Amino acid sequence: MKSCRRALGALMAAVMLMNVAGCASDNPFSSRVGEDGSIVVGSQDYYSNEIIAEIIAQSLEREGVDVARDMRIGQREAYLPDVESGAIDVMPEYTGNLVRYWDEAAPLGTAEEVYEELRAAAPPGIGIGPQAEAADEDVYVMPEEKAAQQGIESLEDLAAPGKTRGRAWRLGGPYELSTRDYGPEGLRRVYGVDAEFSPLEDAGGPLTVKALRDGTVDMARMSSSSPAIEENHLRILSDPRHLLPPSHVVPLLSDRVDPQARAIIARVMSRLGRDDLVALNKASVAEQKSAATIAHEWLDGAIP
């Protein structure tokens, strides 16, 4: 997107308007990218994050704030330098995963404790807005029927006498989970749970669900905001010892975001709940609506 903006800046105004529509993923609510005085709202290359960014952008526009969009940029390595430099003014993020990105040694505890750690870890020039109730967290899930049969409600239960039946639990998830501190090693360290890891490269998608349903794996890592959890009757195993980091939605803000815009964004965060995020993601995954349409409907009260 950054190269797209540079190219557009060299074109005539009429051509620029035509090309910006393509850069904004055919977004009918998009402003001209790079317009002087506009607040630039960015998003990760992740559909759920783009929806949140669109909600913020449209909320600002409804209050008369001039907005430019830089959506689907990539992952943290790609967009955080632009946030730190001020090229992007507003970026939705997630507390626990981001604080560990900035400070690998940051302690993890409750959602409020992690939020305070994030504020302390943020580089100069990056403001941390209020966190939402909505969270997009890594969680461990198990088929509801299997969990009920074995009396498993939490990660602690996995280490209870007689639960393993003489073998390790079979854990599925994306390849990188094998090296994460909350992966197999973390389960053993924090809960005394022995887990054999099997990579599932669709990150909580249909392959993961199939592996859970047919018993290829006993449990798997998924996102807490995935509609597939409810749709496939999966149980989220509680994490009383805080192995997995709380990751609530939180906006990163540059110094150019004035008090009026900050107040608008804070209202969005106060409204965005856990159930909202699941409903927004369902509209994208199941109904195949665009991020702009989903944001517009949510702001008008049509979702959920």
In the chain, domain spans: 2-134+249-299, 138-236
| Higher-confidence position of 299 and 23 | 299
**Contact present, 148 and 233 (Cβ < 8 Å):** no
β-bridge pairing 219-223 and 169-173: parallel
Nearest one of 248, 242, 239 to 99, comparing CA atoms = 248
pLDDT at site 28:
41
Alpha-carbon distance values, 88 to 55, 94, 124, 198, 263 (Å): 16, 17, 15, 38, 18
The band of 204, judged by pLDDT with boundaries at 50, 70 and 90, is confident
pLDDT of 19 over the 60 cut = no
If you average pLDDT over residues 287-292, what whole number do you get? 97
The band of 15, judged by pLDDT with boundaries at 50, 70 and 90, is very low
pLDDT at site 164:
60
Collect all residues with Cβ–Cβ distance below 8 Å to 256 and sequence separation of at least 6.
39, 86, 89
Cα 101 from Cα 121, distance rounded (Å): 10
pLDDT of 180 over the 90 cut = no
Place of tokens 């020039």: 125
| Higher-confidence position of 252 and 16 | 252
Same fold, 2-134+249-299 and 138-236: yes
61-119 confidence digits (pLDDT tens): 999 999 999 999 988 999 999 999 999 999 999 999 999 899 988 888 899 999 999 99
If you average pLDDT over residues 196-216, what whole number do you get? 93
pTM, 2 dp: 0.81
E strands, the chain, in order:
39-42, 67-70, 90-94, 127-128, 138-143, 169-173, 195-199, 219-223, 234-236, 249-253
Has domain 2-134+249-299 been given CATH number 3.50.50.60? no
106: tokens are: 């940051």
Has domain 138-236 been given CATH number 3.40.190.120? yes
**Contact present, 205 and 229 (Cβ < 8 Å):** no
